[in-house]
Amino acid sequence: MTIRTLIVDDEPLARQRLRTLLESEQDIELIGEAGNGWEAIAAVRQLAPELMFLDIQMPLMDGFAVLEALTGPRLPAVVFVTAYDRYAVRAFEAHALDYLLKPFDRSRFGKALEHARVQVERDHQAEAGKQLRALLADVYSGRKPIERLIIKASGKVNFLCLEEIEYMEAAGNYVRIHVGSDIHLLRETMSHLESRLKGTRFVRIHRSTIVNLDCIRELQPSFHGEYAVILNSGAELTLSRGYRDKLEKLLGTSL
């Protein structure tokens, strides 16, 4: 039996290092590599790996966002690769998930691989999925609320203060950020962005919309339990029934 394995790391040298170590293992079938989060998600969905070596510190979409975007009860066994996130290391250990702390040697790699073999051989992917989701909940609960978003575009880096943002809406593989008359594109999933905004004045009101509470002027009842959300700028959004309880919780009142 061979273990279908995927390598995910934004650094070519890091991927080469893992590839070299894995190629000497007879029971490992290296089925692909990914250099960023979006490639990783596509590769997992298309190739269905049983084991994934996943880098955490990747630009635009980190390893945690990759896991959050993957749905379904059966996820690959994961060996995390990290350079410096000490909190994450403690979280991995608490949830019995293995990791490689860069730089790692062949001995430490061997121990992580052996742990992964046990997970795969015992067909623990479903249990691993529970562990991964518990890990994500732990990691995000331990982070302080963010104060700004970093947008990279056309060779420039823009720092957007959250209080300047009116709302955000899904646009394919991107999120469209509305700041007055300006629109910025951020390559990120809505679910991951919602997690990053936990503890702030932003709330998700629709599967494709997140709004700044301080920019809401009024709510107007619409059809089938939905509401029209009118912003101070005059923009009109929709509050769907499925997200109404989140808004009610933040407002402290029933609609």
Same domain (yes/no): 134, 156: no
Residue with tokens 């004045």: 201
Question: What would the two tokens of residue 173 be?
Answer: 């593989």
Q: What is the CATH number of the domain that holds 191?
A: 2.40.50.1020
Same domain (yes/no): 244, 178: yes
Q: What contacts 92, CB < 8 A, 6 or more positions away?
A: 80, 98, 99, 135
Q: Show the domain range for 177.
A: 148-251
Q: Where are the alpha helices (DSSP H) in 145-199?
A: 190-196
Same domain (yes/no): 89, 122: yes
Specify which residues 179 forms β-bridges with.
Answer: 182
Note the pLDDT of residue 124: 53
* Boundary of a domain, candidates 93, 114, 141: 141
Please give the radius of gyration of the chain, using alpha carbons only, rounded to the nearest integer.
21
Got the DSSP string for 120-188? HHTT-HHHHHHHHHHHHHHHHHTSPPP-EEEEEETTEEEEEEGGG--EEEEETTEEEEEETTEEEEE--
Note the pLDDT of residue 232: 93
Note the pLDDT of residue 200: 87
Note the pLDDT of residue 97: 75
* Boundary of a domain, candidates 117, 141, 165: 141
The secondary structure of residue 91, as a DSSP letter, is: H
To the question of pTM greater than 0.85 for the whole model, the response is no
Same domain (yes/no): 124, 161: no
| Torsion of the alpha carbons at 193, 198, 203 and 207, rounded to the nearest 10 | 40
Same domain (yes/no): 17, 84: yes
Residue with tokens 């790692």: 104
Same domain (yes/no): 137, 238: no
* Boundary of a domain, candidates 141, 170, 190: 141
Same domain (yes/no): 237, 201: yes
Q: In total, how many domains does the chain have?
A: 2
Note the pLDDT of residue 91: 63
Residue with tokens 């209080």: 163
CA distances in angstroms from 117 to 25, 111, 120, 140, 181, listed in the order given: 11, 10, 5, 28, 53
Q: What is the CATH number of the domain that holds 21?
A: 3.40.50.2300
The secondary structure of residue 104, as a DSSP letter, is: -
Same domain (yes/no): 182, 115: no
Distance CA 247, CA 100 (A): 40
Same domain (yes/no): 100, 225: no
CB atoms within 10 A of CB 237: 20
| Torsion of the alpha carbons at 188, 189, 195 and 196, rounded to the nearest 10 | 10
Note the pLDDT of residue 1: 75
- Each residue's pLDDT, cut to its tens digit, for the chain (255 residues) gives 789 999 999 999 999 999 999 999 999 999 999 999 889 988 998 998 999 999 988 877 788 888 877 766 567 888 989 886 665 666 676 565 788 888 899 999 999 999 888 878 765 555 556 666 666 666 656 556 677 887 877 767 778 889 999 999 999 888 999 998 899 988 888 888 888 888 888 999 999 999 999 999 999 988 888 899 999 999 999 999 888 888 877 777 777
Rounded to the nearest 5°, which phi and psi values hold at 199?
90, 0
Instruction: Find how far residue 74's CA is from the centre of its chain.
Output: 17
86: alpha, beta or left? (left if phi > 0; alpha if psi -120 to 50):
alpha
The secondary structure of residue 138, as a DSSP letter, is: H
Same domain (yes/no): 124, 164: no
Same domain (yes/no): 22, 130: yes
